[in-house]
Amino acid sequence: MLPFFHWVETTRVSEAISASPWAFAVIESGHLLALAVIGGAVLMLDLRLLGLGLRDQPIERVARDAQPWLVWSLAVMLVTGVLLFSSEPIKCYNSSAFWVKMSSLLLAMMFTFTVRRKVALAGDGDVRPVWLKVVGIVSLTLWFGVGAGGRWIGFSA
Protein backbone atom coordinates (compact mmCIF):
# COMPACT_ATOMS: atom_id res chain seq x y z
CA MET A 1 0.00 0.00 0.00
CA LEU A 2 2.99 2.28 0.44
CA PRO A 3 3.07 3.35 -3.25
CA PHE A 4 -0.45 4.76 -2.80
CA PHE A 5 0.68 6.85 0.18
CA HIS A 6 3.65 8.11 -1.83
CA TRP A 7 1.34 9.00 -4.68
CA VAL A 8 -0.96 10.96 -2.34
CA GLU A 9 2.02 13.04 -1.31
CA THR A 10 2.60 14.11 -4.92
CA THR A 11 -0.96 15.32 -5.54
CA ARG A 12 -1.65 19.01 -5.93
CA VAL A 13 -3.94 19.13 -2.87
CA SER A 14 -1.24 17.61 -0.71
CA GLU A 15 1.36 20.08 -1.91
CA ALA A 16 -0.96 23.05 -1.52
CA ILE A 17 -1.85 22.19 2.10
CA SER A 18 1.76 21.46 3.02
CA ALA A 19 2.96 24.70 1.44
CA SER A 20 0.44 26.88 3.23
CA PRO A 21 1.21 27.91 6.80
CA TRP A 22 -2.53 28.20 7.59
CA ALA A 23 -4.35 25.53 5.62
CA PHE A 24 -3.65 22.59 7.92
CA ALA A 25 -4.67 24.53 11.03
CA VAL A 26 -7.88 25.82 9.44
CA ILE A 27 -8.92 22.39 8.13
CA GLU A 28 -8.07 20.89 11.50
CA SER A 29 -10.35 23.41 13.22
CA GLY A 30 -13.21 22.37 10.93
CA HIS A 31 -12.44 18.73 11.72
CA LEU A 32 -12.59 19.54 15.45
CA LEU A 33 -15.88 21.46 15.20
CA ALA A 34 -17.48 18.56 13.36
CA LEU A 35 -16.11 16.29 16.11
CA ALA A 36 -18.23 18.14 18.67
CA VAL A 37 -21.36 17.66 16.55
CA ILE A 38 -20.74 14.01 15.76
CA GLY A 39 -19.91 13.45 19.42
CA GLY A 40 -23.25 14.93 20.45
CA ALA A 41 -25.20 12.98 17.83
CA VAL A 42 -23.55 9.64 18.64
CA LEU A 43 -23.60 10.11 22.40
CA MET A 44 -27.23 11.21 22.56
CA LEU A 45 -28.46 7.99 20.95
CA ASP A 46 -25.94 5.68 22.65
CA LEU A 47 -26.89 7.08 26.06
CA ARG A 48 -30.53 6.49 25.21
CA LEU A 49 -29.75 2.90 24.16
CA LEU A 50 -28.07 2.44 27.53
CA GLY A 51 -31.21 3.72 29.24
CA LEU A 52 -29.58 7.05 30.11
CA GLY A 53 -29.92 10.59 28.79
CA LEU A 54 -33.26 11.27 27.04
CA ARG A 55 -34.91 8.19 28.50
CA ASP A 56 -38.44 9.64 28.54
CA GLN A 57 -38.34 9.70 24.75
CA PRO A 58 -38.81 6.73 22.43
CA ILE A 59 -35.49 5.46 21.07
CA GLU A 60 -36.76 5.85 17.54
CA ARG A 61 -37.37 9.58 18.01
CA VAL A 62 -33.91 10.18 19.45
CA ALA A 63 -32.44 8.18 16.56
CA ARG A 64 -34.37 10.14 13.92
CA ASP A 65 -33.48 13.51 15.46
CA ALA A 66 -29.79 12.59 15.76
CA GLN A 67 -29.52 11.06 12.28
CA PRO A 68 -29.07 14.19 10.10
CA TRP A 69 -26.49 15.67 12.47
CA LEU A 70 -24.62 12.39 12.49
CA VAL A 71 -24.62 12.10 8.70
CA TRP A 72 -23.63 15.70 7.99
CA SER A 73 -20.97 15.95 10.66
CA LEU A 74 -19.57 12.63 9.45
CA ALA A 75 -19.45 14.04 5.92
CA VAL A 76 -17.50 17.08 7.16
CA MET A 77 -15.21 14.80 9.19
CA LEU A 78 -14.49 12.64 6.14
CA VAL A 79 -13.79 15.55 3.79
CA THR A 80 -11.58 17.46 6.25
CA GLY A 81 -10.01 14.18 7.36
CA VAL A 82 -9.03 13.21 3.80
CA LEU A 83 -7.51 16.68 3.31
CA LEU A 84 -5.52 16.44 6.55
CA PHE A 85 -4.35 12.96 5.59
CA SER A 86 -3.34 14.09 2.11
CA SER A 87 -0.94 16.65 3.56
CA GLU A 88 1.06 14.07 5.50
CA PRO A 89 0.38 10.57 4.15
CA ILE A 90 3.79 9.10 5.00
CA LYS A 91 3.59 10.24 8.61
CA CYS A 92 0.18 8.54 8.77
CA TYR A 93 1.49 5.38 7.11
CA ASN A 94 4.15 5.07 9.80
CA SER A 95 1.82 5.87 12.67
CA SER A 96 0.13 2.94 14.37
CA ALA A 97 -2.45 5.38 15.76
CA PHE A 98 -3.53 6.11 12.18
CA TRP A 99 -4.17 2.44 11.47
CA VAL A 100 -6.04 2.01 14.74
CA LYS A 101 -8.17 5.00 13.81
CA MET A 102 -8.91 3.79 10.28
CA SER A 103 -9.83 0.27 11.42
CA SER A 104 -12.08 1.68 14.15
CA LEU A 105 -13.63 4.11 11.69
CA LEU A 106 -14.45 1.41 9.19
CA LEU A 107 -16.02 -0.78 11.87
CA ALA A 108 -17.80 2.17 13.50
CA MET A 109 -19.39 3.28 10.24
CA MET A 110 -20.41 -0.24 9.26
CA PHE A 111 -21.90 -0.84 12.69
CA THR A 112 -23.64 2.54 12.90
CA PHE A 113 -25.41 2.32 9.56
CA THR A 114 -26.44 -1.33 9.85
CA VAL A 115 -26.92 -2.91 13.27
CA ARG A 116 -27.23 0.26 15.34
CA ARG A 117 -29.58 1.93 12.90
CA LYS A 118 -31.78 -1.14 12.62
CA VAL A 119 -31.95 -1.64 16.37
CA ALA A 120 -32.64 2.04 17.09
CA LEU A 121 -35.46 2.26 14.57
CA ALA A 122 -36.99 -1.08 15.56
CA GLY A 123 -39.38 0.54 18.03
CA ASP A 124 -39.45 0.04 21.76
CA GLY A 125 -40.07 -3.47 22.97
CA ASP A 126 -38.94 -5.20 19.78
CA VAL A 127 -35.36 -5.57 20.94
CA ARG A 128 -34.41 -6.93 24.34
CA PRO A 129 -33.00 -4.18 26.60
CA VAL A 130 -29.76 -6.06 27.07
CA TRP A 131 -29.12 -5.95 23.31
CA LEU A 132 -29.86 -2.23 23.22
CA LYS A 133 -27.17 -1.78 25.87
CA VAL A 134 -24.71 -3.97 23.98
CA VAL A 135 -25.25 -1.93 20.81
CA GLY A 136 -24.74 1.32 22.77
CA ILE A 137 -21.51 0.09 24.33
CA VAL A 138 -20.10 -1.30 21.06
CA SER A 139 -20.88 1.99 19.33
CA LEU A 140 -19.27 4.09 22.06
CA THR A 141 -16.19 1.84 22.10
CA LEU A 142 -15.71 1.97 18.32
CA TRP A 143 -16.16 5.75 18.09
CA PHE A 144 -13.88 6.25 21.06
CA GLY A 145 -11.24 4.27 19.15
CA VAL A 146 -11.66 6.64 16.22
CA GLY A 147 -11.31 9.74 18.39
CA ALA A 148 -8.44 8.54 20.55
CA GLY A 149 -6.57 7.13 17.54
CA GLY A 150 -7.07 10.42 15.74
CA ARG A 151 -5.74 12.53 18.58
CA TRP A 152 -2.74 10.23 18.91
CA ILE A 153 -1.71 10.63 15.25
CA GLY A 154 -0.67 14.15 16.21
CA PHE A 155 1.67 12.84 18.89
CA SER A 156 3.45 10.34 16.65
CA ALA A 157 6.81 11.53 15.43
Partner 1 sequence: MSLLPFVQWLAKTPGSIALHESSYMYPLVESVHVLTLCVFLGMAVMFDLRLLGITLTKVPMSQLKHRLGPWMTSGFIVMVITGVLLFYAVPVRSYQSVWFRMKAVALVLAGLNAFVFHRTVDQRIEEWDRDPVPPRAARRAGARSLVLWTLIVVCGRMIAYNWFDCDKQPQPAIVNALAGCVVPAEATP
The footprint of partner 1 (CB under 8 A) covers 21, 25, 28-29, 32-33, 35-44, 47, 53-57, 61, 65, 68-69, 144, 147-148, 151-152, 155
User: Which one, 118 or 151, has the nearer CB to partner 1?
Assistant: 151
The number of angstroms, rounded, from the C-alpha of 119 to the middle of its chain's C-alpha atoms is 19
> Minimal distance in Å, beta carbon 84 to partner 1?
12
User: Which one, 8 or 132, has the nearer CB to partner 1?
Assistant: 132
> Minimal distance in Å, beta carbon 100 to partner 1?
13
Residue 86 and residue 8 in contact, taking contact as beta carbons nearer than 8 Å: yes
Residue 119 and residue 48 in contact, taking contact as beta carbons nearer than 8 Å: no
Distance, CA of 45 to CA of 67 (rounded, Å): 9
Distance, CA of 22 to CA of 45 (rounded, Å): 35
User: Which one, 5 or 140, has the nearer CB to partner 1?
Assistant: 140
